[in-house]
Amino acid sequence: GFEWRWLWQRAQGQARKTFLIHPSPVYAITYSPDGRFVASASDDGTTQLWDARQENWLRTLDSPTNSPRQLQFFTDHFTLRCSVSFSRDSRTLLTGGRDPALRLWDLESGQRLWSLTNNFFLGVFSPSDPNLALATWRYTSSLPGPRMSLLDVAQGKISANFTNGRADAICFTPDGRE
């Protein structure tokens, strides 16, 4: 209908710059709280870091090796396949991917600080506490649906698991209390 054409016309020519570095679709993109960085996570398993002020690419933070079986599982069962989330102080980046694992990165050095495997695939930092995040993990045959956990980022460990329902999406309230 006309809606599609109207929306398409409105979306043309508004971009200031186009970045062509991911060879696969991008499923997650976010700005750092201080506006200094942009991170993008792609279906190919890579996470790219960009300088938002200079509008240029800085580095590839993550390029895990994914087996075809794992890729097929996540392609079939999850729409959102990867995540990127900056800490409130914009010093670290939490990435989640299809391999499945969560990783914490130091943004200045580009070094990985820790990895949390065991079927964790999405992570979101608290907007108020740089040491707190939510994470989702793949379900098992005894627990249907993805589950949510509270992550102690400083330790790189799960501090609590929530098993009373599915966690198809995760987020904090703007004040970070819930």
pLDDT tens-digit readout, 10-41: 777 767 777 777 888 888 899 999 999 999 99
Which among 99, 95, 25 is positioned nearest to 69, based on CA atoms?
99
The answer, yes or no, to whether residue 67 has pLDDT greater than 90, is no
The tokens describing 55, both together, are: 């509008």
8 Å CB contact between 64 and 112: no
Percent of residues, the chain, with pLDDT higher than 90? 35
Residue type, 74: F
By CB neighbour count within 10 A (0-12 exposed, 13-18 middle, 19+ buried), where does 87 fall? buried
Average pLDDT over residues 119-134: 88
**In 3-state terms, what secondary structure has residue 70?**
helix
* Reported pTM: 0.79
**In 3-state terms, what secondary structure has residue 140?**
strand
Chain centroid to CA 46: 11
Q: Look-up: residue for tokens 């079927």?
A: 119
8 Å CB contact between 84 and 97: no
